[in-house]
Structure 1
Amino acid sequence: MGSYKKNAFTYSTIVAMGGFIFGLDAALISGTVKFITKEFGLTDLELGTVVSAPGLGVLLALPLAAHACNSLGRKKTLLIIATLYLVSAITSALAPSYWSLVAARFLGGLAFSSISLASMYIGEIAPPKWRGKLVSMTQINIVIGLSAAYFINYLIIQLLDSDALWISDLGIKEHTWRWMLGSEIIPAFLWMVLLFFIPKSPAWLIYKDRIKEAKHTLQKILPADEISLQIEEMKKSMQNNTEGRSVISQLKEIFSSPMRVTLIIAMTIAIAQQATGINAILFYAPTVFEQLGIGTDAAFMQAIWIGLTSVVFTILGLLLVDRLGRRPLIIWGMTWIILSLGICFYGFKTASYTISKDDISEMSTLSNTERLDEIVNVKYGSDIEFKNALKGALGEVDARNFSGELIQKAADIDAILILIGILSFIAAFHFSVGPVMWVLFSEIFPISIRGIAIPFFTLITSLVSYFVQKFFPWQLGTMGISTTLLFYAIMVGVGLIILYKYLIETKNMTIEEIQLALVSKLKKDK
């Protein structure tokens, strides 16, 4: 590997670490759900607020990030983001109250724009034939971060059964969720340090008319005979751009007639990616697995399988994105997602729930078990019916605190089928729309507006993600798990129909060639 190739790979790897921190930050909360719910006495919507707080933060951050990455540059903006991750991790672990925890996680959400900026930066320093692989490294790091979070949570849960003195001294049993959230501090600090060693984006330098500095950066990542051509192509892409263009004028260009096909592709995939419900599964993984009636410890263990499946299929998607192309991975991947959600829907829809007297007698931690006498040996046809019966018998608080254990005892469910469906869904997402959306975002916008366009459409996908995270506990409590999964499948189906009509293939094309192909697609549709 030549030195310029090694440099491009090294810089991309460092920047893509933002994906790892994102994945870690996002999934660590999944292990804390029961602990913070009990400690702060949270309702379903309050729990959704804690989990979704970063999603709300990123809605504010993305417009600011769009301005910062154009005015301050990609590198400085990434450094600010890394600092926010670090501060959020520290304050989350030390949060003394429910609202301080929400505020600390909201602060972390301000850093979630790292995903869009990472794909932007890598797309601007990567050679065209490597762009798909290098941009997808961000998604690889996200799923590695997710896996690390699930493993950390599982490890901490296992430590709770130990009588070792050091566990007591560190307060792990008393402050379990704080140790989970605090585990992000060290990797966040490491990423912040490493970002000092990356160069400024050559595309941004040309945007600022700092041609000499851009050449210096390009010398590190391209062969000498390709530098002049690359600079000319970047200039051509920005020929309609002026230094003083406002955000509004760039947004108007995104919504203009010549950009109609690009707008449809970007808007559809931005909505469809999160409408799959992926973050409901990832951020509430142990809670989802508890619906299978396998118990808390097993639920944490199964969450690790989600992480491992994510890693394996993201790597597979990375290896094939430049071979098979973006369009086949998106179209067939979304079809696979719909089928997987259908399997889960069927498994939950055919489940039944019956609690026996013997089951109740085994629950030593539940007081006044006679309250359940009225529902003993009554067969309930869905999880929502059973949960409503528990609320009626035990009240809101005890029903919430003991529902996992009671479902484990009462469920008559094909857990293996649903587990296969969930893991198939995770595999399909991370093989297709997970990484490929970011590849498309790094390719389909001209350089003149990409500093606004990528954060804008990331804002759209973040808004959908926020609603999914916010309302998932409420959906479980009011709609039930089967209906919720069916809703996600229908949303993905709508997106699939639109993308089948409009999505073009972009593999092995320069950004300028992609713009010509999109214009050609627009003319054909008229």
Structure 2
Amino acid sequence: MENTTRRTWFIAFVVSLGGFLFGFDAGIISGVMAYAGPEFDLNDIQTGWVVSSPSFSAMLAMLISGRLSDFYGRKKILIVVAFLYALSALLSAYAVGYNMLWIARMLGGVAFGAALILAPTYIAEISSAENRGKLVSMQQLNIVLGFFAAFLCNYYLNELNTSGDSFLTDETVWRWMLGLEMIPAVLYFILMFFVPRSPRWLFLKQKVNEAIEILKSLHSKTRAEEEAKSIQESIQKQSNKEKVNLKELVKPALRFIFLVGLTIGILQQITGINAIYFYATSIFKQTGIGTNAAFASGVLLSMTTVVFTIVAMLLIDRMGRRPLLLIGIGGIALSMLICGYGFKQATYELSTEKMSALDASLVENLSGFEGKVYDNDVAFKNDMKQALGSQVYAKNEGAILEAAANMNSTLILIGILVFIACFGFSLGPVMWVMLSEMYPNKYRGLAIGVIGFVNSFASWLVQQVFPWELSNLGNATTFFIFGFIALAGFFLFLKILPETKGKSLEELESELIT
């Protein structure tokens, strides 16, 4: 691999570290809430808000970060992003109550909202058509590596805490989980100073000499000259047009690709990915495998994500974007329906034998339910909460469900892993690649910002509502909803999805914009 290519890969890796921090934050919260939720006695709405509040603030960041980066430059905004990540981790770890916890997490949301928009934009702007898919996919790879690191940290810190031989307690273990994010955040902040400014942004700001020098450092001299000429021609075509505003995105020339982008952005979230990630420990507890096994299953889930994101990076510039998305969304629909079926077959019974495995204090309060069979998880959990109180039930949910649940937990685990695998090679990385490719230079920041906003709103909504869904609709109905949404998405993609593989940003602009 030649030096210029190595330099491009290094820069793409550094810039996409914001994705790692997003993944780490999203993964770590599933373990945090197993302890912080009961400690602060949070209800379903409060639990949903602590988990989802970063996505809420990310919506606002996504709306303005693209335009801010058009004005100040991608690099400067990403340095601010790294600082906010570090500050959020510090304040979250020292949270003294519910309000401080969600406010601190919202700071992190501002950071990852901006990073999720700006990293793929920047990477697309330093890449050639041949390697753009792989390089932009590095954002998603870093996200899933962040998830893996977080689930691994959750698993080991939970093991240390439950062993009784460490300094950790139920009251401090979750603070260590949150505080660890400081390490990659500080590293990201430092490394961003070694990244050049975007050459395409420099051309827009009339800093031609600096832009050409950066292109030469990223590509061969001949390729740099070709890229420079292509970028300048594209900018020249746009220079005589009126200033960009939101209404232009829905004018006939841009309407189709804007709607395609919106569709991908919404479906990426409403098929349930962040319900699975952010609540992984809680979901695995629902299968009755126990708290420790739930933490271990989170590690398996995140490993699957890493493997299939790498598969996507290897295939995206060979197979193309459209086939990966169609295969992936079809698999997502099937796997969610399998999970729904698995939960639908479940029954719950506290038998005499299983009751003996619970703490004596629990047995005393639950003795009236011994031998009673439930075919509905909502009715079972409501009776448990009424008998024990919500805080005591929350602290012991893993043990109670492990004692009572009778279901095919292996089928559900397989369903979730297939879902994660399919998302990992399709909707996860391919969405950001396509969004970075479909829009002209002039509109790219605004279009991706608006779609990112809608994407983040959908993510926030799923995260906020998910605990309520589990409590009121039940496990089976919740997963069936995700499955049928994905099925509808498959047929919609079949009809509207274009292919953007192997074309320069300027070629795509001339093809997709009428």
- TM-score w.r.t. the length of structure 2 is 0.96
Relative to 1, partners in 2 of residues 1:463 and 1:207: Cα closer, same or farther, differing over 3 Å?
same
Alignment-mate amino acid for residue 188 of structure 1: A
- What is residue 111 of structure 1 aligned with on the other side? 111
Quote the Cα distance in structure 2 between the aligned partners of 1:233 and 1:256: 25
Quote the Cα distance in structure 1 between the aligned partners of 2:336 and 2:419: 6
Quote the Cα distance in structure 2 between the aligned partners of 1:462 and 1:195: 25
Alignment-mate amino acid for residue 332 of structure 1: I
1:347-426 to 2 correspondences below 5 Å: 347-364=342-359, 366-367=361-362, 369-426=363-420
- What is residue 198 of structure 1 aligned with on the other side? 195
Quote the Cα distance in structure 2 between the aligned partners of 1:57 and 1:245: 31
Alignment-mate amino acid for residue 206 of structure 1: F
Alignment-mate amino acid for residue 350 of structure 1: Q
- What is residue 36 of structure 1 aligned with on the other side? 36
1:109-258 to 2 correspondences below 5 Å: 109-112=109-112, 113-162=114-163, 164=165, 167-168=166-167, 171=168, 174-239=171-236, 241-242=238-239, 249-258=244-253
Quote the Cα distance in structure 2 between the aligned partners of 1:217 and 1:209: 14
- What is residue 470 of structure 2 aligned with on the other side? 476
1:440-479 C-alpha deviation (Å, 9 max, x unpaired): 0110011111111112111111110001111111111001
Asked whether the equivalents of residues 374 and 393 of structure 1 are also in contact (C-alpha less than 8 Å), the reply is: no
- Report the Cα offset of residue 240 of structure 1: 5.1
Asked whether the equivalents of residues 344 and 482 of structure 1 are also in contact (C-alpha less than 8 Å), the reply is: yes
- Report the Cα offset of residue 385 of structure 1: 2.2
- What is residue 430 of structure 2 aligned with on the other side? 436
2:486 to 492, 495, 499: 492
1:452-511 C-alpha deviation (Å, 9 max, x unpaired): 111211111111000111111111100111111111112222222222111111111111
Asked whether the equivalents of residues 48 and 472 of structure 1 are also in contact (C-alpha less than 8 Å), the reply is: yes
- Report the Cα offset of residue 8 of structure 1: 1.0
- What is residue 308 of structure 1 aligned with on the other side? 303
- Report the Cα offset of residue 377 of structure 1: 1.4
Alignment-mate amino acid for residue 300 of structure 2: W
- Report the Cα offset of residue 180 of structure 1: 0.3
- Report the Cα offset of residue 173 of structure 1: 5.2
1:394-453 C-alpha deviation (Å, 9 max, x unpaired): 343333333322111111100111111110000000011110001101100111111111
1:111-131 C-alpha deviation (Å, 9 max, x unpaired): 012122110000000111000
- What is residue 320 of structure 1 aligned with on the other side? 315
Aligned residues: 513
Quote the Cα distance in structure 2 between the aligned partners of 1:160 and 1:392: 28
- What is residue 447 of structure 2 aligned with on the other side? 453
- What is residue 84 of structure 2 aligned with on the other side? 84
1:308-362 C-alpha deviation (Å, 9 max, x unpaired): 0000010011100111110000011100110111111111111111112333343
Asked whether the equivalents of residues 348 and 382 of structure 1 are also in contact (C-alpha less than 8 Å), the reply is: no
Asked whether the equivalents of residues 23 and 142 of structure 1 are also in contact (C-alpha less than 8 Å), the reply is: yes
Determine helix, strand or coil for the equivalent of 2:245.
helix
Asked whether the equivalents of residues 39 and 171 of structure 2 are also in contact (C-alpha less than 8 Å), the reply is: no
Quote the Cα distance in structure 1 between the aligned partners of 2:476 and 2:134: 36
Alignment-mate amino acid for residue 268 of structure 1: T
Quote the Cα distance in structure 2 between the aligned partners of 1:355 and 1:146: 35
Quote the Cα distance in structure 2 between the aligned partners of 1:356 and 1:176: 33
Quote the Cα distance in structure 2 between the aligned partners of 1:365 and 1:86: 43
Structure 1 residues 155-164 or 45-54, which shifts more? 155-164
Quote the Cα distance in structure 1 between the aligned partners of 2:5 and 2:65: 28
Relative to 1, partners in 2 of residues 1:108 and 1:100: Cα closer, same or farther, differing over 3 Å?
same
Determine helix, strand or coil for the equivalent of 2:359.
coil
Quote the Cα distance in structure 1 between the aligned partners of 2:154 and 2:320: 36
Identity of aligned residues (%): 41
Quote the Cα distance in structure 1 between the aligned partners of 2:27 and 2:437: 28
Determine helix, strand or coil for the equivalent of 1:442.
helix
Asked whether the equivalents of residues 9 and 134 of structure 1 are also in contact (C-alpha less than 8 Å), the reply is: yes
1:5-84 to 2 correspondences below 5 Å: 5-84=5-84
- Report the Cα offset of residue 96 of structure 1: 1.2
Quote the Cα distance in structure 2 between the aligned partners of 1:274 and 1:19: 16
Quote the Cα distance in structure 1 between the aligned partners of 2:141 and 2:392: 40
- Report the Cα offset of residue 276 of structure 1: 1.3
- What is residue 267 of structure 1 aligned with on the other side? 262
Determine helix, strand or coil for the equivalent of 2:130.
helix
Alignment-mate amino acid for residue 518 of structure 1: L
Alignment-mate amino acid for residue 235 of structure 2: M
Asked whether the equivalents of residues 390 and 399 of structure 1 are also in contact (C-alpha less than 8 Å), the reply is: yes
- Report the Cα offset of residue 239 of structure 1: 3.5
Alignment-mate amino acid for residue 413 of structure 1: M
Aligned CA RMSD, in angstroms, stands at 1.7
Determine helix, strand or coil for the equivalent of 1:217.
helix
1:179-205 C-alpha deviation (Å, 9 max, x unpaired): 000011011000110000010001111
Structure 1 residues 497-506 or 49-58, which shifts more? 497-506
- Indicate whether 1:283 and 2:278 are aligned: yes
Determine helix, strand or coil for the equivalent of 2:96.
coil
Asked whether the equivalents of residues 126 and 134 of structure 1 are also in contact (C-alpha less than 8 Å), the reply is: yes
Alignment-mate amino acid for residue 217 of structure 1: I
Alignment-mate amino acid for residue 213 of structure 2: H
Quote the Cα distance in structure 1 between the aligned partners of 2:403 and 2:205: 64
Quote the Cα distance in structure 2 between the aligned partners of 1:85 and 1:396: 33
Relative to 1, partners in 2 of residues 1:423 and 1:492: Cα closer, same or farther, differing over 3 Å?
same
Structure 1 residues 384-393 or 47-56, which shifts more? 384-393
Asked whether the equivalents of residues 64 and 449 of structure 2 are also in contact (C-alpha less than 8 Å), the reply is: no
Quote the Cα distance in structure 2 between the aligned partners of 1:326 and 1:197: 31
Relative to 1, partners in 2 of residues 1:139 and 1:402: Cα closer, same or farther, differing over 3 Å?
same
- TM-score w.r.t. the length of structure 1 is 0.94
